[in-house]
Amino acid sequence: MNFQELPEDVLRIVFGLLDVYCVLCLSATSKSLRVLATDRLVWVDLLLNLHWHGFVDDESVLSISRKSQAELLDLVQTMVLGPRHWRRQAILQPSAPDIVSNIARPAGDSPSPNFEPLREHVLHPQNINLARSNEARLLPGGEYVLLDTERALECWSVQDGRIVWSHHEDNGFVGGFAFDMLPGGRQVNIAVFIYQLEHGWASSRLDILELDLLQETSEMRYTSPYSAVENDVHWTHSDIKGSFAVCNLFSTIRGSTELHALHDWKTAPGKCLSVASPEGSQLALTTRYLIIATFDPRPSIRETQFRIVSLVDLQSVGPWYGFFNDASSINVAELPTLSNFVFPLSVATILDLPPMHHLSVYRSPLDENVYRIWLHWAGFRRLEVEQGQNRVTFGNALYGYHLLANPDNACDVSLHKRVESRTGSKGNTTYSGHGIRRQRLRDHLESDSYALYAPGEPDPVASLRATGAALFPSLSVYSGAVTYAERVVRVAYFD
């Protein structure tokens, strides 16, 4: 029997189980399949599947099922391109398989210089004195917020406005966290660093917990201590995906190498691998791969190398310990590498002293075999000579890449550069490449605000009003919701 000879209700079910990119490809094969691929019920099923996997924020199953075809497409566009008013014509040109046809059509509207939130949720923690340096991050799905109060890591319900969970230790403080939301949005794995200071020395450990959001209880699944170190050494850039977690050991005393801890926390008992890389390297995880970005600063080279490592094959290297052992580190070159990719850095955007600031890797909501990689640089840029001296300014640059995995062979991967530009953003980057930083409006009587930067644009495309704008706002990866803590915790959505 020919595929198109199947009953329409059966075809509709099949279409609803595919990813968005497959449905768009099928729509180009025949008129009958195009009619089915644009059916509203098919797109309801596609969005419900995306909602299940945490790509849709602030929407329920009921609200999705009631949306029109245009509203459903707009949700997908927001995931890929960012909120409607954040887009510019210049950045909407398709350059990879996950930006196609209807999903990438231009918005047409020029961004306004200033936007008020379309809607806002406000949480009122009563047991703490929040400062603008507290970190708050919205969990995928938009129902919960993780809040670092320094003394504890708390989880708050957005709709109920109440705390549902807390993790803390007497005489300790939180030194950073990462999370991995499981499909269904009811369970999240959380990696949190706990520090304790004694006589100028800091002891630290990594705790990994499974938090059941329905039961509002957690179970400690893994803990890894790190021996006492000087207080100018701490963990940064933590990430957790599936059964692995990774973090960088940062020291104010710079050297030629950098250390990272890779934790296989679901193995009983959990194991830790110490990895050494060239100075300034960044590591990030997907459910399949460990991605390592390294910069070669030599003037004659100045290029970035990406190393794609299979997580499945990591068990073949070692030694693995029950704790972080920096005396037995292995070099990144010894890891089971699938592919190496090298990209020269553009003279127009690169900084003279360009340390990597952050490496982000996000799965495409349209194709499970496509990932976007954003590499954020922050450093000094040497400009023209003024009065016999070089004028030096601090600047940022953003480089974007696409990682494509062969659906028939996960070991076959390719990497392509997508965008490069100077930027003024700081902090995390969304899937669409938008970034944010706090700014003060010129009129001191007005409220604080955030400047919003789009990929490929060195100047801000919009100014977002935010009452008491915090120092470290967080952007949700697929919705662009801005979450920040000041005297309260705010979650702001923009159109």
Q: Are residues 152 and 237 in the same domain?
A: no
- Of 263, 260, 349, the closest CA to residue 304 belongs to 349
Of 183, 137, 143, the closest CA to residue 162 belongs to: 143
Do 72 and 94 share a domain, yes or no?
no
Pair (11, 147) in one structural domain: no
Q: What pLDDT is recorded for position 85?
A: 84
| Side chain identity, residue 392 | V
At residue 62, the pLDDT reads 95
For residue 481, give Cα distances in angstroms to 10, 76, 77, 108, 306: 37, 15, 15, 22, 30
The pLDDT value recorded for residue 110 is 41
Among residues 318, 344, 370, the one where a domain terminates is: 344
Q: Cα separation of 495 and 479, whole Å?
A: 10
Given 3-state DSSP classes, what are the helix, strand and coil percentages for the chain, each rounded to the nearest 5?
Answer: 15, 45, 40
Are 355 and 443 members of one domain?
yes
Q: How many domains does the chain have?
A: 3
Residues 333 and 373 both lie in one domain: no
Does one domain contain both 357 and 467? yes
Joined together, the tokens standing for residue 314 give: 């990591």
Are residues 70 and 90 located together in one domain of the fold? no
Is there a single domain that holds both residue 369 and residue 303?
no
- Residues 148, 193 within the same domain: no
What are the two backbone dihedrals, phi and then psi, of residue 400, each rounded to the nearest 5 degrees? Answer: -120, 145
In which domain, by residue range, is 394 found?
79-161+346-495
Tokens for 298? 């030599």
For 269, residues 6+ apart whose C-beta sits below 8 A from its C-beta are 322
CA–CA dist 471, 369 (Å, integer): 35
d(CA 138, CA 482): 8
- 10-residue mean pLDDT profile of the chain (495 residues): values are 74 86 88 88 94 94 94 94 76 37 37 73 73 84 93 93 90 89 95 79 84 96 74 76 89 70 87 87 92 81 89 86 85 92 72 69 95 84 55 74 93 92 81 86 58 85 78 90 88 91
Sheet containing strand 144-148, edge to edge, reads 135-138, 144-148, 152-157, 162-168
Pairing of strands 409-423, 389-406: antiparallel
User: CA 397: distance to chain centroid?
Assistant: 17
Given 78, 101, 127, the domain boundary residue is 78
| Alpha-carbon gap, residue 135 to 122, rounded angstroms | 15
User: What predicted TM-score, i.e. pTM, was given to this entire model?
Assistant: 0.87
Of 78, 108, 139, which one is at a domain's C-terminal end?
Answer: 78
From 53, 92, 52, 50, select the one nearest 73 (Cα to Cα): 50
Integer Cα distance of 178 and 180 in angstroms: 7
Same domain, 260 and 390: no
Contacts for 420 with CB less than 8 Å, ≥ 6 apart = 346, 349, 397, 398, 399, 400
- 109 and 153 share a domain? yes
Backbone angles phi, psi at 153, to 5 degrees: -105, 120
pLDDT at 487: 79
pLDDT at 350: 52
Q: Does one domain contain both 96 and 213?
A: no
pLDDT at 363: 96
Q: Which two tokens stand for residue 112?
A: 């306004």
How many whole angstroms from its chain centre is CA 355?
19
Q: How many residues does the chain have?
A: 495
Angle at 358 between CA 357 and CA 359, to 5 degrees: 140
Any idea what DSSP says for residue 2? -
Q: Which two tokens stand for residue 275?
A: 């990895």
What is the rounded CA–CA span in Å between residue 158 and residue 124?
Answer: 10
